[in-house]
Amino acid sequence: MGDNGRGDVAPATPEDAAKAELYKEEANEYFKNQVYDKAIELYTKAIELNPSVAIYFGNRSIAYLRTEYFGYALTDASTAIMLDKNYVKGYYRRAAAYMSLGKFKLALMDYKTVVKARPNDKDANDRCMECSKMIKVSAFNKAISVEDKKNIADMINLEDMAIEGEYTGPKLVDGKVTLEFMKDLLEWYKNQNKLHRKYAYKILLDVKSWFMAQPSLVDITIPEENKFTICGDIHGQYYDLLNIFKLNGLPSETNPYLFNGDFVDRGSFSVECIFTLFGFKLLYPNHFFMSRGNHESATMNQMYGFDGEVKAKYSVQMAELFTEVYNWLPLAHCLNRRVLVMHGGLFSRDDVTLQEIREIDRNRQPPDEGLMCELLWSDPQPQMGRAPSKRGVGVQFGPDVTQNFLSINSLDYIVRSHEVKNDGYEVGHDGKCITVFSAPNYCDTMGNRGAFITLNGSDMKPYFTSYDAMPHPNVRPMAYANSLLKFMC
């Protein structure tokens, strides 16, 4: 990451200062064209040549924000502020990083600093008020949940929900999902229609019951000659989800799937994605699997759009029910006792066993540390050992950590998702750590391909299929996101 910009560094020579400016200008161009990795690389070169300029850290901070490296963004913004207490953008950047991590009170302190410096700045005042409102709502919800332990699921009365005569969409048969229902639903959603709320609630209630009966680590047996497909993040990109089914066939008892978390948020067709996936889970409960991702959480949903989308398309009550359902999603899957699949990755200690994962009490919001947090948030790194997470949550783990975990648990390799990759996948750690990401042209800006993995029960060898993004209706990503984060896409 280069020099951290502390005040004790020697001043740059005029030549280095001039070179650094050129790197910054070049980086700004890459940033404008949304090539964030290259922009980060060039801002870093500018910082190495002249580590006393706040704006270099401020600019790299927003580039890190765009690539979801919230921990690095936070560090850079803090360094920028330390170098120049009057650098207002530094406080904006740091507040955005805090917001992205769900640390609303710390974000509010920075927004207040901006308002104090610019009392007539409408944008700063609006952000301050919005952040303050979120803190109050969060505190209110916390107080209510302590007082009232009732499940939302117990409060739903399906009998009171009438099916209006004009509704011509998919219908459950005797309250059950059928293949015909799923085929109708795919087409219904493709044409931007809404599933009737009675059927939507029924699917949520039924799928919650299924997930509640599962352990935190689900064991899956893949027969020798059978194919099995693993998909990574979908992030509300419904038309790309349809494309996966077109390329690889609809889920069935002979075409099983595992979707590895982050089904929702950012993409503005998250409701369509999640009901499609839940529908297939109910249709083929023993051949269709879903792992929890870091975005299947109340804080992430509140910030990145799913909460707003559910409220816009259905109701506040349904948004609360989704939170209950997500709390029961399994955290990992083990395939033929040889391959472990989880959304994020490995752990901050060396002796974690599959049995420990199996016994995690998952019916809650993800904590800030521990096994459950790391399963959802961690990332691999090429260096040996461990490092603080670039995201500010979880841990970064090296090839030695992966190898040690595999040895302890008699596994061949791990599969995880959670990170955008240019080809939709990446094979790291000497082939022992595979990343798969299934949302192409993520957020309509990243230009990446999506991918899925297929393997066969006989040899468990992974094969990769990459694909490009599909056109979608003119609803931009983050359309339902919190206004404080809409700049993130």
CA distance 57 to 90: 8
Q: Inter-axis angle of helices 197-212 and 316-326, to 10 degrees?
A: 20
**Which long-range CB contacts under 8 A does 75-82 form with residues at least 24 apart?**
75/1, 75/4, 79/4, 79/5, 79/6, 79/54, 80/5, 80/54, 80/55, 81/54, 82/5, 82/6, 82/7
Element housing 228 (H / E): strand 227-231
Q: Inter-axis angle of helices 104-117 and 88-100, to 10 degrees?
A: 160
**Which long-range CB contacts under 8 A does 170-179 form with residues at least 24 apart?**
170/195, 170/199, 171/196, 171/199, 172/199, 172/202, 175/202, 176/282, 177/203, 177/206, 177/279, 177/282, 177/283, 178/283, 179/283
CA distance 125 to 456: 56
- Would you call 295 a catalytic residue per the annotation? yes
CA distance 83 to 7: 7
Among 295, 333, 343, 472, the active-site one is: 295
Work out the number of other CB atoms within 10 angstroms of the CB of residue 205. Answer: 18
Q: Inter-axis angle of helices 179-190 and 238-248, to 10 degrees?
A: 130
Q: Could you tell me the two tokens for 158?
A: 């399906």
Q: Could you tell me the two tokens for 462?
A: 């992974």
* Chain CA centroid to CA 398, Å: 21
Show which residues are catalytic. Answer: 295
